A and B are shown apart, each in its own frame.
Chain A
């Protein structure tokens, strides 16, 4: 197993250019997601979905010192306890050697179980196709020792790619820096002890300048399969049998 890798998205230096959205689409051949003017600040992508794997949120706030414009490039969290992966009945979703969570379009049958399971509302089925798609953290690039497309393009390195433990350190020291500068509402998100408690931590750490809900992120995301799985862990043998059963079903399915 290689070190677990992921993103650190530092929203304090995001300039909202959307290079991440485009670079992601170019590399991953993600189709255009509709030409819709949403009248929601500069966001016309709307949110993450099957055809938008990076999404820049624009939040306009009115305060005593005038207006503040927050921007954040959202992405799949690649949860340590990934509900999408756990509920996928076909084995289409797997955890890679990099610790990331990837949907395989050649396996996915479009059942859609993963969609309500995701506590962040990330994964979605593609219209007219039916299968589920989301960020792969550029699995093919990682295997070629290449940085993910979004992180590579990001002009200000608001998106940094690297081993999660290093990113975590980077995030914590950046938070201290910002707090020292008086950014009182700044916080981390996606870490096992900060906003990622309910999903066992994530591979997508964010430094936010306000509460997660402000950016459209859930404040307390929880893997819905968690309670269930804890029960299984108490009965290891049964869990093993169930897992084998699932795999057998998948293998059987593939054989058809």
Chain B
């Protein structure tokens, strides 16, 4: 669900095809019948933006029919935990949870907490979602939360869950999603039958789940299903995020993201984090591996600032810049439009095509003072000042655009060495085959030499603002004709050093300044001074887990939370699904993978006085990053839009919410302004619009539209419509259509296909239109950018845009000025 794996991850899909041949059932739930659907055992068409209704239906099916994996659920999840008395569910408040503040347009999450203790989230908005004044709790000296192992207590998570999802019946699924109740039930039953001790089920998702105003809750809902069925931490189970770029996982782990420091440490917040102690006290729960947050942070500061990070200067914590709001890419581009952002670096990205409301991005860049674009080819974002559609339309005039543009050609993957972290957290080293030609350089070269030049220009400055940049360790050894910094030296810094050389694993990190580590979860990737990511032992010469190919974070573990593959006593749940287990004789965990629990922590271990971090968790608590060692069916903290998933309609939808009075996610981020209006009039915009990618292209096209063999395979922008919609709007296969929203209008060739099926929703027919978003006005294959017609409208937790479900109108013909 939410993934078109055969098209977007074809080589990964070989394993799905192989599993299917061995008897696995492959179910594809998607608004469009794609190449994945064509190869699935069962295809289920769904209305875009209704995934939670569908998934919630499965949760309800499991709970109403007693199909949960009871022993797993009781032992490993927070099902038994009792919630506070003042918690109110959406059942009670017409689609809102307790704590909603209509003035602020935000939740106060205090009432979502456990009875008797305060739980801190492992990820997410820790500083804003943990109730003020109650940030120190959990384990250690705090009382344990109240539990009811019978799961009968009316305020225990299990009962709350049961009640919350009780209205997600098969009939409601049909009414909301357009999926016939019978077909839905078949899916739910298949999942249940294929889960338990002997069997596991996996969910694969991608942008079809994230690009929604309820993106995070889509995935949360899958997590609830997988936990109820016992499918997490076990082979063949899990929720697999199929990510779209070679190192998009790496760029999240070692984040080029505003709110994170490496290893998912939060970026210091001006309001909450005056010093390191407060930062750690507020954000680090005592229990689990986040209990070592201070070690991770001090080691990072040592990697960044070397001897400028000392005990007497709070380890340089004060040198870090502070955030105080949402500084993600969309608010940033809106600030750019308003002239507040002066300079912009684009490092292998093409927002003029690839970001929602791409037209607004082009307009915003015309307000910049300077722009640096680094790419392989002259992408639309580099040349907007001379050939953007707005230049052609006269909306922008080249001579009036003040932006100074530097286009610097980049090196390709074969021209540099370094690591990509793939979608399964695997670091793989790629070797440089040749040196780049001409002025082409790697980002490593660019950042290093830019930093070197700036530091040279600022050398000797005593201005407070220059202290951090001058304090950076920035002395990498260089190599080759261009003085490239040595990528292995950078990887070794990321891995970290102790007094006796490269560190082996993150539990060696200290908060006394004796260790440095650029990203604690990557600690061990250079263990023994050896580049572990460069290991290439052929797959056929090792076990099916292939632990000696590359290196997976953390600690080369291939399945996270794999302690859950064994029962509380440490025995495999079944022979068929054995993965790791407790070897009582050796006093260690053993099996096919590195155990995701302290290797010698016995299943019957119970924390004693003075225990901290992972030693505060018990030997039968697999979720070692969680404060309570339990997987959270109910999230007492960390989310801005509720502790449980709720079906809300997309911001733009032809329907009211059939389930609640509250129509859309109340916490969604809106940016209504003339350049970013959203559709309100359902009669003007009656159709559902969803965007997607194709096998033949890559994202915004910089790496495919400029490559002849790919460009010819999908040479033009097109839209997919059903024969029924084609008849309704006089659209002709192979002809042209104009798709209109409040943002803009685009044109596309028309593909009329039975693969797009009108759905019956709420007693009437709804048409869906699909638009791939690869094209722009440059390259070999050209066309309108689908993102021009989508709004900036964001999920409140992760600030990702809702481009998988919007509304539009469609008419035959071409844009003005383009008619033949």
On A, residues with C-beta under 8 Å from B are 13, 15-19, 21-22, 25-26, 32-39, 41-42, 44-45, 60, 62, 66-71, 155-157
The reply to whether B755 and A69 form a contact with Cβ atoms under 8 Å apart is yes
Given contacts A17-B35, A67-B754, contact A156 B696 (CB under 8 A): no
Binary A-proximity of B691-706 (CB < 8 A = 1, otherwise 0) = 0001110000000000
Map CB proximity to A onto B740-780 as digits: 1 under 8 Å, 0 otherwise. 00000000011101110100000000000000000000001
Query: Can you list 24 pairs linking A and B with CB atoms under 8 Å apart?
Result: A13-B17, A15-B17, A16-B6, A18-B696, A18-B713, A21-B713, A26-B709, A32-B709, A32-B711, A35-B781, A37-B718, A39-B751, A44-B713, A45-B713, A60-B755, A66-B757, A67-B755, A67-B757, A69-B33, A69-B35, A69-B37, A69-B755, A155-B14, A156-B13
- Do A18 and B708 contact each other (CB < 8 Å), given the known contacts A69-B755, A71-B35? no
Q: Which residue of B lies closest to A69 (CB)?
A: B38
- Check A15–B710 contact: CB distance below 8 A: no
Contact (Cβ within 8 A) B715 A155: no
CB of B256, distance to nearest CB on chain A (Å): 30
A26 to B707, CA, bound (A): 11
Q: Which residues of B contact A (CB under 8 A)?
A: 6-7, 10-11, 13-14, 17, 21, 33, 35-39, 43, 694-696, 708-716, 718, 733-734, 749-751, 753-755, 757, 780-781
CA distance A28 to B51 in the complex (A): 45
A155/B13 in contact, CB under 8 A: yes
What residues of A have a CB within 8 angstroms of the CB of B695 in the complex? 16-18
B734 contact set on A, CB distance < 8 A: 37-39
- Which residues on A sit within 8 Å (CB–CB) of B39? 13, 15
Closest 5 CB pairs of A and B: A39-B734, A69-B38, A35-B715, A37-B716, A32-B708
- Report how far A38 CA is from B13 CA in the complex, Å: 27
The reply to whether A71 and B38 form a contact with Cβ atoms under 8 Å apart is yes
User: For the complex, what is the distance from the CA of A66 to the CA of B759, rounded to whole Å?
Assistant: 13
Q: Are A35 and B718 in contact (CB under 8 A)?
A: no
Residues of A within 8 A of B749 (CB): 37, 39
Q: A33-B712, A69-B38 are in contact. Are A13 and B21 (CB under 8 A)?
A: yes
| Pairwise interchain contact A15-B13, C-beta atoms closer than 8 A | yes
Across-interface contacts of B753 in A (CB, < 8 A): 41, 60
Q: Can you add 16 more A-B contacts, CB < 8 Å, to A35-B716, A35-B780, A39-B749? A: A15-B6, A21-B713, A32-B708, A32-B712, A33-B712, A37-B718, A37-B734, A39-B733, A39-B734, A41-B751, A41-B753, A45-B713, A71-B35, A71-B38, A155-B11, A155-B14
Q: A45-B712, A45-B713, A66-B43 are in contact. Are A19 and B10 (CB under 8 A)?
A: yes
Q: How far is the CB of B759 from chain A (nearest CB, A)?
A: 13
Judge whether B14 and A22 touch: CB under 8 Å.
no
A35 vs B708: C-alpha distance in the bound complex, in angstroms? Answer: 9
CB-based nearest B residue for A32: B708
Residues of A within 8 A of B6 (CB): 15-17
**Chain A residues near B13 (CB-CB < 8 A):** 15, 155-156
Q: Contacts of B718 on A, CB cut-off 8 Å?
A: 37, 39
How far apart are A22's CB and chain B's nearest CB, in angstroms?
A: 5
CB within 8 A of A16: which of B21, B35, B709? B35
**Complex: chain B residue closest to A62, CB-CB:** B754
Asked whether A35 lies within 8 Å of B711 as measured between CB atoms, the reply is yes
Distance between B539 CB and nearest chain A CB, rounded to angstroms: 15
In the bound complex, residues from chain A placing their C-beta under 8 Å from that of B733 are: 39
Nearest CB in chain B: distance from A154 CB, A: 9
CB pair B10–A15 under 8 Å, yes or no, is yes
The CA-CA distance from A19 to B35 in the complex, in Å, is 14
Contacting residues, chain B, for A156 (C-beta < 8 A) = 10, 13-14, 17
Q: CB-CB < 8 A to A33: which residues of B?
A: 712
A76–B713 Cα distance when bound, in Å, is: 20
Which residues of B sit under 8 angstroms from A17, Cβ to Cβ? 6-7, 10, 35, 695
User: Which partner residue on chain B sits nearest A153 by CB separation?
Assistant: B11
> Which residue of chain A has its CB nearest to the CB of B780?
A35
Question: How far apart are B31's CB and chain A's nearest CB, in angstroms?
Answer: 14
Which listed residue (B7, B11, B712, B754) contacts A60, Cβ 8 A? Answer: B754
List of A residues within 8 angstroms of B14 by Cβ: 155-157
Nearest B residue (CB) for A21: B713
**Smallest CB–CB gap between B501 and chain A, Å?**
42
Q: Which residues of B contact A16 (CB under 8 A)?
A: 6, 35, 38, 695
Q: Is the CB of B712 within 8 A of A44?
A: yes
A34 x B33 contact (CB < 8 A): no
B754 to chain A, nearest CB (A): 5
Q: Are A22 and B713 in contact (CB under 8 A)?
A: yes
With a cutoff of 8 Å between Cβ atoms, the chain A residues found around residue B751 in the complex are 39, 41
B715 touches A36 (CB 8 A): yes
**B720: shortest Cβ distance to chain A, in Å?**
10
Q: For B21, list chain A residues within 8 Å (CB).
A: 13
The chain B residue with its CB closest to the CB of A38 is B734
B757 to chain A: which residues have CB within 8 Å?
66-67
Q: How far is the CA of A142 from the CA of B21 in the complex (A)?
A: 30
Measured between C-beta atoms, what is the minimum distance from A70 to chain B in Å?
8
Whether B712 contacts A155 by the Cβ 8 Å rule is no
A155 to B5, CA, bound (A): 12
B712 surroundings in chain A (CB, below 8 A): 32-35, 44-45
When chains A and B are docked, how far (Å) is the Cα of A22 from the Cα of B697?
Answer: 12
- A155 CA / B10 CA spacing, docked (Å): 6
Closest to A56 in B: B713
B35 adjacent to A22 (CB under 8 Å): no
Bound: A239/B357 CA distance, A: 72
- A39-B750, A67-B755 known; A25-B714 Cβ under 8 A: no
A33 to B711, CA, bound (A): 10
In the complex, A35→B750 CA distance in Å? Answer: 16
B405 CB to closest chain A CB (Å) equals 28
Report chain A residues within 8 Å CB of B711: 32, 35
Question: In the complex, which residue of chain B has the Cβ closest to the Cβ of A25?
Answer: B709
Task: Tell me, in angstroms, the Cα distance from A67 to B723 when the chains sit together.
Answer: 13
**Which among B14, B713, B714, B780 has the highest number of chain A CB atoms within 10 Å?**
B713
Is A68 a contact of B38 with CB atoms below 8 Å? yes
Q: How far is the CB of A152 from chain B (nearest CB, A)?
A: 12
Q: Which A residues touch B35, using CB under 8 A?
A: 15-17, 42, 69, 71
**B380 CB to nearest chain A CB (Å):** 18
A13-B20 Cα distance, complex, nearest whole Å: 10
Report the bound CA distance from A13 to B18 in whole Å.
Answer: 9
Residue of B nearest to A37 (CB): B716
- What chain B residues lie within 8 Å of A71 (beta carbons)? 35, 38
Q: Which residues of A contact B715 (CB under 8 A)?
A: 35-37, 44
Which chain B residue has the least Cβ–Cβ distance from A51? B712
- Tell me the complex Cα distance, A157–B21, Å: 12
Q: How far is the CA of A25 from the CA of B710 in the complex (A)?
A: 11
CB distance from A133 to the nearest CB of B (A): 16
User: Which chain B residue lies CB-closest to A33?
Assistant: B712
Shortest CB distance B740–A (Å): 21
Instruction: Say how far B750's CB is from chain A's closest CB, in angstroms.
Output: 7
B762 → A minimal CB distance (Å): 22
How far is it, in angstroms, between the C-alpha of A159 and the C-alpha of B11 when the chains are bound? 14
| Chain A residues near B780 (CB-CB < 8 A) | 35
The residue in A25, A32, A42, A45 that gathers the most chain B C-beta atoms within 10 A of its C-beta is A42
A18 to B710, CA, bound (A): 10
Q: Cα distance A34–B751 when bound, in Å? A: 19
Q: What are the residues of chain A within 8 A of B754 when measuring CB–CB?
A: 60, 62, 67
Least CB distance from A15 to B in Å reads 4
Q: In whole Å, how far is A36's beta carbon from the nearest beta carbon of chain B?
A: 6
- Find the A residue at minimum CB distance from B717: A37
Nearest CB of A to B713, in Å:
6
- Which residues of chain A come closer than 8 Å to B716, judged between CB atoms? 35, 37
Query: Which residue of chain B has the shortest Cβ distance to A67 in the bound complex?
Result: B754
Q: How far is the CB of A180 from chain B (nearest CB, A)?
A: 13
Chain A residues with Cβ under 8 A from B755's Cβ? 60, 67, 69
Is the Cβ of B714 less than 8 Å from the Cβ of A44? Answer: yes
CA A134 to CA B749, docked complex, whole Å: 31
> Complex: how many Å from CA A213 to CA B733?
22
Within the assembled complex, what's the spacing in Å between the Cα atoms of A214 and B519? 56
Residues of B within 8 A of A157 (CB): 14
